[in-house]
Amino acid sequence: MTSSALSPAARLRGLRPDWLHDTKVWRTEILAGLVVALALIPEAISFSVIAGVDPAIGLFASFTMAVTISVVGGRRAMISAATGAVALVIAPLNREHGFGYLVAAVILAGAFQIVLGALGIAKLMRFVPRSVMVGFVNSLAILIFTAQVPEMHDVPWPVYPLLAGGLALMVFFPKVTRVIPAPLVSIVILTVITVAAGIAVPTVGDKGELPSALPVPGLPDVPFTLDTLTTIAPYALAMALVGLMESLMTAKLVDDITDTHSSKTRESVGQGIANIVTGFLGGMGGCAMIGQTMINVKVSGARTRLSTFLAGSFLMVLCIVFGPVVSDIPMAALVAVMVMVSFATFDWHSIAPKTLKRMPAGEIAVMAVTVACVVATHNLAIGVVVGTVTAMVVFARRVAHLADVTAVVDPDGTQVVYSVTGELFFASSNDLVTRFAYATDPDKVVIDLTATHIWDASSVAALDAIETKYAQRGKTVEIIGLNQPSARIHDRLSGELTGGH
């Protein structure tokens, strides 16, 4: 049957995503959104404390970020909300200048992210090596776990059996059925037990008061002057960069887990839009949340934008409509979920003795440096940058020794041919000048570059230096075998790099 023969209703169904017709997917996405919403509440409140704002501000930010990014983001099923990294960046601004400046910085950060996204900053992700990605994932798992340690220290003794029970439920319940996410079952059962038995343990309500109404849009309470702009701009740029780094790394991680592709450029722009919306609604801004994303994607099995949208929506419904019930959820239940997430997130294969024996020492060093930096600074962006720079240094040292030079003198002794192999760039070309016998070579010298490639000005400068040293001794040099790109850069730069000295 042709499309023209289909009824209007049938054609409309054909335009809808496949998941709209699958009740199993609907159930998975709805339940995943509910689990993530419950896990977001204590996290958002904690990040509000870090930023020095009212708990409602963090909850509003989580709501607006999740709902907005579900529409404009480039990575399906990824959760964006208020995060610790963003809170750390903007906390000094709020402390020194007040909440109005914080909101203004969030809006400006969103504008920066849109510009950076349009300029193609997402393409820089291709330069993040796998060893940095593994270090990023492992350090994330460590941070998620260590963030739960305060909730397990100096607490009433019933917290420990509740925590153990929650972990046991999440390990064994999936063996019975996967229809309902095990984290949700664990949260419900532990809450019922503590409320019914009247067990006095820390609860979500102890973290802070939940909001009782939706956020109201408005402009930041700051003077719209150049002085204000210069005050907030450094914080806004830092927030934009940190937020994009975490969001793009998380998107790449979800790509690998789900074996699907996402638009990193759209995600970058989407993060900007979400932060602008959040700022105008009085939120503290945010970015992708890796822990909650792992709950959504890896633990609950969500794969669509619906789970992200519902996570934000359920968050506000839980706070406004079911605030008293949510306040009674024991923190032990949510800690158990996050501990399970940390163990599921960690790449245990990467530290297995068999893997470490086969892995090059440089790769292990890069992974270790990434983990150490993230754990030390509690900033995933810093760890990724330092890890990537370390990987580049390791790579440069490795390939610096790949350029080799062999000499063949003609039988009549009138000419010598030097064959250069490998890649010529700033690291490998530095030693190139020392590989020639200027004093003893014949009057005619041929340098054969057929088996190499010139990458930069440093290599051209090295070849110029070689020609100069031979010319000083009255000898001629002929360079042959240049491929087309190498010939272009050599012709353009040769003789122009020494300033005539």
The DSSP bridge pattern shows strands 415-424 and 444-454 to be parallel
Cα 31 to Cα 450: distance, rounded to the nearest angstrom? 62
Strands across the sheet with 404-409, in order?
A: 404-409, 415-424, 444-454, 476-480
Cα 351 to Cα 357: distance, rounded to the nearest angstrom? 10
Buried b (16+ CB within 10 A) or exposed e, 427-456: bbbeebbeebeeeebeeebbbbbeebebbe
| 197 φ/ψ angles, rounded to the nearest 5 degrees | -90, -5
| 479 φ/ψ angles, rounded to the nearest 5 degrees | -100, 125
Rg (CA), the chain: 29
Q: CB–CB of 77/296 below 8 Å?
A: yes
| 403 φ/ψ angles, rounded to the nearest 5 degrees | -80, 125
214 torsion bin: left (phi>0), alpha (psi -120 to 50), beta (else): beta
Q: CB–CB of 284/86 below 8 Å?
A: yes
- In sequence order, the β-bridge partners of residue 406 are 419
Q: Could you say which residues of the chain have pLDDT below 70?
A: 1-21, 400-402, 497-501
pLDDT at 15: 52
What is the SS3 assignment for 259?
coil
Element (H, E) at 323: helix 323-327
Buried b (16+ CB within 10 A) or exposed e, 160-171: eebbebbbebbe
pLDDT at 3: 46
What is the SS3 assignment for 76?
coil
pLDDT at 341: 81
User: Can you state the angle between helices 226-258 and 99-118, rounded to 10 degrees?
Assistant: 60
pLDDT at 500: 45
Tokens of 275: 């932060």
